Structure formats: structure tokens, C-alpha cells
Structure 1
Amino acid sequence: NTQASKAAAYALLARLYLNKAVYTAGSPEGPYSFAKEDMDKVVEYCELVEAEGFSLEDEYFKIFSTASSNEIILVAATGTPQNRYRMTLHYDQNPDGWNGFATLADFYDKFDENDPRRGSEATPDGTEYSGLGRGFLFGQQYNDAGDEIINSRNQLPLSFTKEVPLLGAGTEEGIRVIKYHPVDAGMYIFLRYGDVHLMKAEAVLRGGTDNQSALEIVNELRTARGATGLGTLDEASMLDERGRELYWEGLRRVDQIRFGTFTSPWSDMENTEAFRVLFPIPQRALDTNPNLQQNSGY
């Protein structure tokens, strides 16, 4: 699974057909019209991936700890850690980080308390990195010996808060995220079956044909993860489920554009212009090729 396979091609085709309405829309910002024949193609390619022997993993974080997981379709496996954890961890943790990215409180609150995907607490036993949990790091942080970590700047216990202001945030503010734990060999997943499973559910929700309902497909995944099943499913809850399953995996922007929420207001942004669903074409490219025309709005 470190090389492209038929399953990888099927998964990419499913993703392309799922997003076809976005790529071919009269206006980049929508509205998007999802054709039934395209959604049927998504279902078809997702089932072809499953026929290659992929299945849902019972232990969620096992997916990100071994390249031999049942879910991994295509992965870059280097065999050595690549320091991705440093992008989010506090500099007083082990391993240290540059105290960077945090998630939003309203996204964290989309998880049920009993959803294992929200994370697992550390079990410090004296071995290296044993003081570091998986998933969302919230509240008091501990070192490998199980002692409270002290913030070297203010000499207070290092306890990550739920809220993080856009400007002027303290070093301990914001929930941090670890999906690829430093104790594991370095790898990065490009395609996995959990995404394929939810693509199939979304395609059925948008009119594709399958012998299961979209809700049944989603709850099949939630059951495998140890989460309580949903009672109903609509576009909003489908997007939420993709967020819970696929956070920190580089898919959110594409998902939000497809669901029409990318430019919607959120906690730190009241309004975003619709044209920003596209990036600007770099000036160097425009200067080099007179046939290119800058995207509208830039």
C-alpha cells in the first residue's frame, strides 16, 4: 500500500465523481447539482475498493500507527518520524513543539463524550513519549513520569483550554491535536477506507442507489469506531461525521466547498466572499502565460 494500486485508482475515481458537480458548475461557488448517475459511479467505485479486501478498523488510532492497517489504501511510509507533532505541541512537552495549531471549541464539541475518535488519554509509564495522548489534547498535560507539566513561561501547570482567541492567545490556550503519535514509525496516509465508506454514504444521501441507506452506512462506521449510532442523517450531519472521522487529514476544505459551507460564518469570521472557494493564480504564472486569466475577485 505504499504504491498506487487498483484500489487507490478506484478511491480517486470515487472522489472525483463525488466532486464532479463542483468542478463543472457554472459558477465556482455554486450552487452545485449532483447528478444521480455520478452518485451511482461513486457507489460503484467505493464497492470496488471494498472488493479489494479493505475494511473498517475496530481501533481508530491503530489506523495511524501502522502501515499494515486494514484501512490504508495508499500511504507514504518513511520508517522514521517526520516531526509533524511539532506543529501543534507545546515546547514544554515531550517531544517538544513550536506551540502551533489548535482546533476550535465548536468543532471539539461536535464529538460525543464516548466517541473514541475524540482521543485517548496518555498512560505515563516512564518510557519516552508515554506522557503524550492521542487525538485531542485538552486539559492538564503530563510528562512521561506522570507528573504535571509546568509552563516554563508562567510557572503554572500546563493545561490546554478549550477556547483560543484569534489574536493574543496564551501559550496554553487551544486544544492541540495528535493523530500521528511520535512513538510510531513515520507515515502519512493519502487514501483510506474510512473516507471511502463515508463517500459511499454521501453519494447515497445525494441520490445514489445502494441496498443500504446512507444512515445505515454511516452507523456501520460509527459502530466500528465504538460510537453511538445516529438517529437521522442529513447534509449537515453528514458533513459533521466526515469531520469527526477525517479531522487533521487534509480533506476539510474540499468537503466544506462541496457542502456549500466553506464561506459560511464561523466563530472568528463573520463573512467570507464567495469567490474565495478558488485560490488566486500566482502572478508569476500570469506573467509567463498570457492565455491565463486571473480568477474572479482577485
Structure 2
Amino acid sequence: MTVINGLIFSQPISGKFNVRRSDNDFAYMSTGRAQKPTPDNRGTNASCVEPEFYYTWEGNHNDPRFHRYYQYSDGTWFMNDGTTGSVPAEDTRPDTGKFWFHFNRGLQVGQQYGPTLDGKGGFNMTNDGRIAISMLYMEKNTTVPMDYTPELDFDNPLEAVFSQDQINRGVRNFKWEFDPEYGNGSSAVDVPLYRLGGIYCMRAEAYYRNGETGLAMADINILRTSRTREALFGSAPGIAILSLDEEILYNEIGFEMYWEMYRRKQMIRFGTYDEAYTAKAATEPYLRVYAIPQETIDVTEEITQNIGY
């Protein structure tokens, strides 16, 4: 375990200690298959955020945690809206020397743009040697634009199943940058298991549940205002909230901790887990606790199955 700048990292260690070389399945990147950070990498089309979470950001799209544009060293911003025709070919994958394209970070919604392959193992380039940017289409159905919609609209509302002409649905999350030296199944990106932002969320919730709303709001505002937006927006700091109730607190914890595997516990604590939402019917409270595997019960007389199973 390693502590760096207030973050706590945990990684398997084999051979020489190197915090950058741990295989890491926590940092799942929900890039589409046609979103390629290098010609050798691709995404998976396998995950997105649900509309219920995406719409909690209404009125907060200027929060630095919602989205961040990438700027190249020559000043080019990747706007991901069709206005960026090319970006400089300035970064390369260390092990192969192939060009490395940087996608924006945060929640990605709407029509997507990026580099495309030239059929010869590289990116399509401009005449002056820059990476050409094009409108993207879904790789498994090249007639479907890569237009990430907030709504999922499953054919069966209780089954999270898409056909190949529906896989552009769902807002994708790029909280962590894709590691170009690994395939689409692993990453050496360092991911915090516990970090200072999570501790502030924990304390804010404790303050709130003990009636100290002002102290809870102060902790939330530390998280909101400690980050700044890109230079494109004048490096403006996040905006403090002026009031706090349970719904706002729940949303704010989500803004800080999304994609870090804490939401299920948060939903249970705030009473939303049992409700119906996308691809899920309302459920009984006993399902908040998992069943104990039968093989464990069979060999341990003191253990009985949890209620409801």
C-alpha cells in the first residue's frame, strides 16, 4: 500500500516494487470500441451511467468534476463537437511508439469525435502530420453514429439488453484516462481505494445526520470549490452551494465519488436502493444484504442464511 499526496493506493507487488505496474481492473473505461487512444487499443461498449444519475447533474454542468476538455501543448483544445479538425501528434505509446490520442475526461454525452484508423496500423493523419479528427460511428454497426444519449430505452424495461443498432445509448464515463500500454481488459492507472475527497463526504454525511447541516455544507463546499475548470473557462473555481438537504447531499456525494464502487452503499443509506429505476423493478429491503453461499452454511453450523433467502 502506498500513500501519495493524501491518496491511499493498494496494488499487488511482484518482483521489483513499482506502483505504476499493477494490473488494475478497477479503472474500467467505458469507451466505445471505435474510440481509440492509440491505433492498437479500443474500448468495449460495455458500460455507461444510468439516466437517473446523469440527470442529478442538471444545473451543475459547470462543476469541474462533470467534464474536462483536453488541451494539447500547441494550445489546441479537443472540443469533441466537430469543430476540432485535428490535434498535434505529440504523444506516443512508450512501448510501440504509436501516436497517443487524449480523449476528454468526465461524462461524455452526444455525438463523439476522434481519430480513425488508416487501414495500415496507424491513425489517419492530415497532410501536415497531425492526427485527423472525424465523426465516429459504432464499430459493430458502422451505420449507427456514436451519439451517446442519456436515455437507455431498453426494449424490455427490466432487462439491460441492447441490439447492435442500440449500443450508442448511455452516457459514458471517462473518469480515469485510458492506459494505452494495456489492452482493453486491464490498466496500470493508479486508482485510489480511499482518498481525501471520500473522507470529506463521509464527514459531511455524519455531520448532516447529527443535525450539523452548516458543518456538512462546509465540507461539501470544500470539495466543490477546491477544483478549477480548464483555462478555456478562465480556470474558474467550482461554485459553492447555499443550502443543503438530504437529496442535495446524496447528489453531491455522487458527484465526488462516482465510478469508485461506493454507490450501492450510498443508495442503501439514503433509502433509494429499493426503488425502481432503469432496468430494475422495485425490490424488497432484504435484498440490501447478499445471500450467504450455501457451501459456507453447509460447513459452518453457527451460520444461518440471511432473512429472505
Same fold, judged at TM 0.5 (above): yes
C-alpha distance in 2 between matches for 1:78 and 1:228:
34
Separation in 1, partners of 2:28, 2:198: 26
Secondary structure of residue in 2 paired with 1:222: helix
Distance in 1 between the 2:258 and 2:218 partners?
22
Matched, 1:93 2:35: yes
CA contact (8 A) 2:223 2:256 kept: no
Mapped to 1, the partners of 2:204 and 2:27 lie a distance apart of 31
1:120 aligns with 2:120: no
Where do residues 133-212 of structure 1 align in structure 2 (5 Å cutoff)? 133-144=104-115, 145=131, 146-152=133-139, 153-164=141-152, 165=154, 166-168=160-162, 170-183=166-179, 186-207=189-210
The CA deviation string for residues 75-129 of structure 1, in whole angstroms up to 9 with x for no partner, is 4374147476665222212131221111012211212121121122353433444
* Counterparts in 2 of 1:82 and 1:198: CA distance versus 1, 3 Å: closer
Partner deviation per Cα, 1:162-182 (whole Å, 9 max, x = no partner): 111333351211111122212
The one-letter code of the counterpart of 1:217 is D
Partner of 1:291: 302
Deviates more, 1:103-112 or 1:137-146: 137-146
Larger Rg: 2
**Partners of 2:6 and 2:173 in 1: CA distance:** 21
Q: TM-score, normalised by structure 1?
A: 0.69
Contact map agreement 1:83 1:182 (CA 8 A) in 2: no
* SS state at 1:203 partner: helix
* Pairing of 1:8-157 with structure 2 (within 5 A): 68=4, 70-76=5-11, 78-80=19-21, 82=24, 88-94=30-36, 95-111=41-57, 112-122=60-70, 123=78, 124-126=87-89, 127=91, 128-144=99-115, 145=131, 146-152=133-139, 153-157=141-145
Distance in structure 1 (CA, Å) of the matches to 2:88 and 2:220: 37
SS of residue in 2 equivalent to 1:177? strand
Q: 1:130 to 1:83 in 2, by over 3 A?
A: farther
> In 2, are the aligned partners of 1:85 and 1:97 still within 8 Å (CA)?
no
Aligned position for 1:271: 282
**CA RMSD for the aligned pairs?**
2.6
Q: Secondary structure at the match of 1:157?
A: coil
Instruction: Say if 2:208 and 2:216, in contact at 8 Å, map to a contact too.
Output: yes
Note if 1:250 corresponds to 2:261: yes
Higher helix share: 1
Q: Would the aligned equivalents of 2:29 and 2:174 in 1 still touch at CA under 8 Å?
A: no
Q: CA deviation digits over 1:32-83, x for unaligned, max 9?
A: xxxxxxxxxxxxxxxxxxxxxxxxxxxxxxxxxxxx4x34134437414747
> Separation in 2 of the partners of 1:230 and 1:125?
39
In 2: Cα distance, 1:208 partner to 1:75 partner: 35
Contact 1:86 1:98 in 2 (8 A): no
Verify the 8 A CA contact 1:91 1:98 in the aligned structure 2: yes
* Mapped partners of 2:179, 2:88: distance in 1: 13
Give the deviation of 1:215 after TM superposition: 1.3
TM-score when normalising by structure 2: 0.67
Query: Counterpart amino acid of 1:150?
Result: Y
Report the 3-state secondary structure (helix = DSSP H, G, I; strand = E; otherwise coil) of the residue aligned with 1:79.
helix
**Would the alpha carbon gap of residues 171 and 286 (structure 1) be closer, same or farther in structure 2, given more than 3 Å must change?**
same
The separation in 1 between residues aligned to 2:2 and 2:298, in whole angstroms, is 38
CA contact (8 A) 2:30 2:47 kept: yes
Distance 2:260 2:69 in 1: 21
CA distance in 2, matches of 1:171, 1:142: 16
Could you say what secondary structure the match of 1:232 adopts? coil
